[in-house]
Amino acid sequence: MSHSAVAVAPEREVLALRGVSKRFGAVQALTDVDFHVGAGEVVALVGDNGAGKSTLVKVMSGVYQPDGGTISFDGRDVTIDGPAAAQDLGIATVFQDLALCDNLDVVANLFLGREIRRGGFVDEVAMETEAWRLLRSLSAKIPSVRIAIAGLSGGQRQTVAIARSLVGAPKVVMLDEPTAALGVAQTAEVLNLVERLREQGLGVILISHNMADVQQVSDRIVVLRLGRNAAEFRTAETSTADLVAAITGASDNAVTRRAERRATETETAEPATVGLHKGDPA
Amino acid sequence: MSAPVTDPVADPTAAGVPADLLDERLIQEQGLVGAVLAFVRRVRSGELGSLPVVVGLVIIAVVFQTQAQTFLSSRNLVSIAQFAAPVGIIALGIVLVLLLGEIDLSVGSMSGLSASIMAVLVTYHAQSLWIAIAAAIGAGVAVGLVYGLLYTKVGVPSFVISLAGLLALLGLQLRTLGENGSVNLPPTSGLIVFARQKFVTGGAAYGLMALAVLLYVGARLLTWRRRRAAGLSTEPLTLLAVKAVALLAGLLYAAYYLGIDRGIPYLTILFVVLVVLVDLALRRTRWGRHVFAVGGNEEAARRAGIKVDRVYISVFVSCSVLAALGGLLAAGQLTSVSQSSGGTDTNLTAISAAVIGGTSLFGGRGSAWSALLGIFVLTSIQFGLNLIGVDASVRYVVTGLVLLLAVAIDSVSRRARSSSGRG
Ligand SMILES: Nc1ncnc2c1ncn2[C@@H]1O[C@H](COP(=O)(O)OP(=O)(O)O)[C@@H](O)[C@H]1O
Ligand SMILES: [Mg+2]
């Protein structure tokens, strides 16, 4: 979209993946995927179910090792060989399946793996105080931080998982469908949070099926389809119809025809084309 | 901990309500009555903890006392406390592996092997007792390491590893003991003296109990002060006072009553101290937190950056080491080691004790104290049945039924928890 070159001014790139592939047995979940997020940038990652979004997130958070491709963080090439490595780099993740321990209470879950210590023992008081601060800042409706996660509703669990990603001082926060189980007010809180994180100069990766949410908060939208880069848009210049077409890959409907017309008019990547990024002129 | 969220948070203490009690849905009970009501509610929702086993102990005491008048005598209770300790220490290790949702079926063999190594070194090789003990414990470390590596690197289920270990270690035990098949420890051996003849009595016993209560109250008060300073809810001081007085009275009476006979066995004190240490490690250290996390949701623990393999290995090693230690103390208690040391009986008793005491077979739930409670239940039943003079056959059947009952309670309360949202 050449008429808005101004928006393409690159943010300082924090996390970047080049040519990443991941295969599960017979399923090629990711093929040659490029992806990056800058400091103070919100990138939405969208795509149909099974497009490979969660797999990409897990590659970036060290849960899966990619079969090919490179990852760089703050300009340096890195290997994220496990969740601890991702944490050390400052990559925090809210997983789609939340990954909480049902038998532990809220405080223990929030600080799992990063317990505050005092004289060799875990400091329950400091952790509980900090837990309340984090949860209040998310307007969390959680009656007690001393009940086991098993006793919380889906939305409450999701809030805990989100609060968990804010413990420590992350540089990149990835949210895999963070609002799927949330109510209206809390969804708004999460979107506010995403904006606050951007203001603080963090890179945010947001996965959501809600196009309205995505368009509200993101700067850039990356579309995956069948494990490949399908398209990439500047949010400000993109209509819902463009997105839908890119996500579904439908080539024979009014939405795509319109998108194709726009693409030729504005030299934008045709949404269904693989391998074009940043909305560079075609 | 700095978090990137900078929203101003309303001062939680502004209204005079502790920060963690602001939610109006939180059912709050104040003071003593509140504490009792909260306890009742917890039990009804399936959070039974050690309640069934405490009830069980009371039933056992009443039943056997009516059948044999000496059951609650000082002499019998001292013997129970002393006899329970070695297997109780083995059960403590079982609690750790159960918390991970794993099992070690070879603790009996491990205890037998450890005792054999020690006995042979002391009697045939004229080594000092300390060196012999170190070698036996070292064997425990080695076995635990092998189990841990097989589990984490090869992926063999712990059930199979330890079943193989049960046989292999028994073989090593027979090989170590040699042709005679049994070794008598020297009667003056420090181990025998410690395990059979050392008791705390009189002023020392009372002092020990007072010290224990003092440490307990001190720790609670420190927590109380820090929580208050942080604006969090605090345990009512009257409740703490009531607990402290009850605990002190109970312990002092126990010291007095056991003192009528021989006093408090050193062996029992060692056992209790180990339980307290393991309890502290489980509840108040990162390692303990990670043990519970891995037992609850291994994948979540891994994604939280926990080195899951290390947790497994450390737990298998701890379990084998505690089994080795238990075997040494049992040898001291029996004054000899034979091919049947640490046989099936030891194995099943230790595993049953952990489960009967309230540690879940399903992982992620339990406490070090369940080893203590469970082994006291089983040893009491054993002593009680001996007193009324029933056959060993009956004892096995009863122990089996008690184990079944304990697991049934565990399963039922698990269901109650999931229906009341405690998973
Ligand atoms: N652990 C796994 N084992 C095998 N296949 C997997 C695994 N994880 C994901 N996949 C496959 O990879 C593809 C992408 O899945 P996923 O990343 O979860 O998609 P999305 O999050 O975009 O809905 C799917 O076809 C899924 O079946
Ligand atoms: Mg997904």
Q: Which DSSP symbol is given to A46? A: E
Residue B191 shares a structural domain with residue B314: yes
In contact, A36 and A16? CB cutoff 8 Å = yes
How close B347 comes to chain A (CA, Å)? 28
B55–chain A Cβ distance below 8 A for any pair: no
Backbone angles phi, psi at B58, to 5 degrees: -65, -45
Q: Which residue is associated with the tokens 């056997």?
A: B64
Residue B64 shares a structural domain with residue B39: no
Asked if residue A101 has its Cβ within 6 Å of ligand 1, the reply is no
Residue B217 lies in a domain: no
Cα distances (Å, whole numbers) of residue A164 to A25, A130, B303: 32, 11, 12
A132–chain B Cβ distance below 8 A for any pair: yes
What was the ipTM of the complex prediction? 0.85
Ligand 1: which residue has its CA nearest to atom 1? Answer: A24
Give the structural domain span for B33.
1-45
A200–chain B Cβ distance below 8 A for any pair: yes
Asked if residue A208 has its Cβ within 6 Å of ligand 1, the reply is no
Residue B178 shares a structural domain with residue B302: yes
Q: Which atom of ligand 1 is nearest to the CA of A49?
A: 23
Evaluate if residue A104 carries a pLDDT over 90: yes
Query: Are the Cβ atoms of B364 and A101 closer than 8 angstroms?
Result: yes
pLDDT, one tens digit per residue, over B52-104 is 788 888 999 999 999 888 999 999 999 999 999 999 999 999 999 999 999 99
Number of domains within chain B: 2
Residue to mutate (ligand 1; options A22, A23, A27; most atoms within 8 A of CB):
A27
Q: DSSP for B22-55?
A: --TTS----HHHHHHHHHHHHHHTT--TTHHHHH
Residue of B20, B26, B420 lying closest to A132 (CB–CB):
B20
Chain A residues touching residue B279 (CB < 8 angstroms) = none
Tokens of A70: 């490179």
Residue B271 shares a structural domain with residue B397: yes
Residue B409 shares a structural domain with residue B305: yes
pLDDT, one tens digit per residue, over B336-375 is 999 888 887 898 899 999 998 889 888 999 999 999 999 9
In contact, A80 and A62? CB cutoff 8 Å = yes
pLDDT, one tens digit per residue, over B101-137 is 999 999 999 999 999 999 999 999 989 999 999 999 9
Residue B402 shares a structural domain with residue B270: yes
Residue B168 lies in a domain: yes
Total Cβ atoms within 10 A of residue B396: 12
Residue B341 shares a structural domain with residue B391: yes
Q: Give the ligand with the smallest distance to the CA of A94.
A: 2
Backbone angles phi, psi at B336, to 5 degrees: -155, 165
In contact, B291 and B315? CB cutoff 8 Å = yes
Residue B130 shares a structural domain with residue B275: yes
Residue B164 shares a structural domain with residue B309: yes
Residue B102 shares a structural domain with residue B12: no
Chain B residues touching residue A80 (CB < 8 angstroms) = none
Residue B64 lies in a domain: yes
Q: Which residue is associated with the tokens 């059979």?
A: B196
B296–chain A Cβ distance below 8 A for any pair: yes
Distance B280 CA to ligand 2 centre (A): 40
Chain A residues touching residue B302 (CB < 8 angstroms) = 63, 83
Evaluate if residue B208 carries a pLDDT over 60: yes
pTM for this predicted structure: 0.86
Residue to mutate (ligand 1; options A23, A31, A55, A247; most atoms within 8 A of CB):
A55
Residue B54 lies in a domain: yes
The pLDDT, as a whole number, for residue A267 is: 53
Residue B37 shares a structural domain with residue B54: no
The pLDDT, as a whole number, for residue A250 is: 67
Residue B210 lies in a domain: no
CA B421/CA B41 separation, integer angstroms: 13
SS3 state of residue B236: coil
Higher pLDDT, B259 or A279: B259
Backbone angles phi, psi at A234, to 5 degrees: -80, 130
Chain B residues touching residue A145 (CB < 8 angstroms) = 20
Q: What is the mean pLDDT of residues B170-198?
A: 91
Residues forming beta bridges with residue A176, ordered by sequence position: A207
Asked if residue A55 has its Cβ within 6 Å of ligand 1, the reply is yes
Tokens of B307: 């080195």
Q: Which residue is associated with the tokens 């009956």?
A: B394
Asked if residue A21 has its Cβ within 6 Å of ligand 1, the reply is no
Asked if residue A158 has its Cβ within 6 Å of ligand 1, the reply is no
Asked if residue A279 has its Cβ within 6 Å of ligand 1, the reply is no
- Please report, for chain A, the start and end positions of each structural domain, with discontinuous segments joined by +: 3-103+171-248
Ligand 1: which residue has its CA nearest to atom 7? Answer: A24
CA B186/CA B189 separation, integer angstroms: 5
Residue B29 shares a structural domain with residue B73: no
CATH of A3-103+171-248, one of 3.40.50.300, 3.40.50.2000, 3.30.1330.60, 3.30.420.40: 3.40.50.300
Share of chain B above pLDDT 90, in %: 66
Mean pLDDT of chain B: 88
Chain A residues 54-83 with a CB less than 8 Å from chain B: 61, 63, 82-83
Q: What is the mean pLDDT of residues B216-244?
A: 91
Per DSSP (E only), the strands in B214-316 are 264-265
Q: Give the ligand with the smallest distance to the CA of A24.
A: 1
Query: Are the Cβ atoms of A84 and B285 closer than 8 angstroms?
Result: no
